[in-house]
Structure 1
């Protein structure tokens, strides 16, 4: 009897998505691309005001993606997705902001991306619907959800 053990590593990636320019098109584009990576859980999409009050309201969402993609490949893909939507820096009109927030083999032992800390409210709200972690603060809010894409 042979026991066959897989050496394939699946990583859980917590990803934040935001757009305040061509929101339907760019959010759908990001979600479609992420679904190609593996099993994808998607939060509700929330409409949340721009952090500095200057730009248009954002659509904010989060995804948990179980994938075999390597970390560096994922980071490069996220930059590519932003570029493909015409992301300009700096700007208050953001076609797509898509960031890796955390990653790990198990939701109970995720490692946060230090470049994204501390987490903004517009990241916490959608992410907390998918990932119930003691490291995500509870945020009371009344932001509306967008049901068009999920």
Structure 2
């Protein structure tokens, strides 16, 4: 890790052509730096409207600045065909926290309080006490990056 590197904690979600959009997201985000991925969890829609989501998290180490990362995330969502507002989400990528190391990360206050679909996958990568959830178990998705899409 160089002195200019930043760590970004990202939350990813999709409930429309999920495999296709997670492939797209992972391929782009991997090209931006060193990436650590969580498992993908299948979690019901928060408001009970719409299809179940695939939810995951990642930690990305990169030389991008915060404004550069915010711009790239919005571009990635647009590339996936994201339409707002809608209950059919091709790809949602939220910036949850950032910093130079995990002990000094700054939370994105616009995203707080964090929902279960953010906390569960992110805790797998970064066991921070604010992300800990007990008593909730959701199925994990068997996902292989670059896998051929089926039905």
- TM-score range (shorter-chain normalised) is over 0.9
CA distance in 1, matches of 2:59, 2:2: 22
Please say if 1:85 is aligned against 2:80.
yes
d(CA) in 2 for partners of 1:32 and 1:50? 25
In structure 2, what is the Cα distance between the partners aligned to 1:106 and 1:77? 21
Alpha-carbon RMSD: 1.4
Residue 133 of structure 1 is aligned with which of 125, 128, 134? 128
Is structure 2 residue 33 aligned with structure 1 residue 38?
Answer: yes
Residues 120 and 131, structure 2, Cα contact 8 Å, conserved in 1: no
How many angstroms apart in 2 are the aligned matches of 1:112 and 1:92? 26
Aligned to 2:149: none
Deviation for aligned residue 1:8: 4.7
Unaligned runs of 5+ in 1: 1-5
Specify every segment of 5 or more residues in structure 2 that has no aligned partner in the other structure, as ranges: 146-151
CA distance in structure 1 between the aligned counterparts of 2:98 and 2:42, rounded to whole angstroms = 25
Render the CA deviation track for 1:61-119: whole Å, top value 9, x for unaligned: 00000100111011001001111111111110000000100001111111001111110
Q: Secondary structure at the match of 1:89?
A: coil
Task: Decide whether the 8 Å contact of 1:26 with 1:85 is kept in 2.
Answer: yes
Alignment partner of 1:31: what SS? helix
1:17 CA displacement:
0.3
Equivalent residue number for residue 10 of structure 1: 5
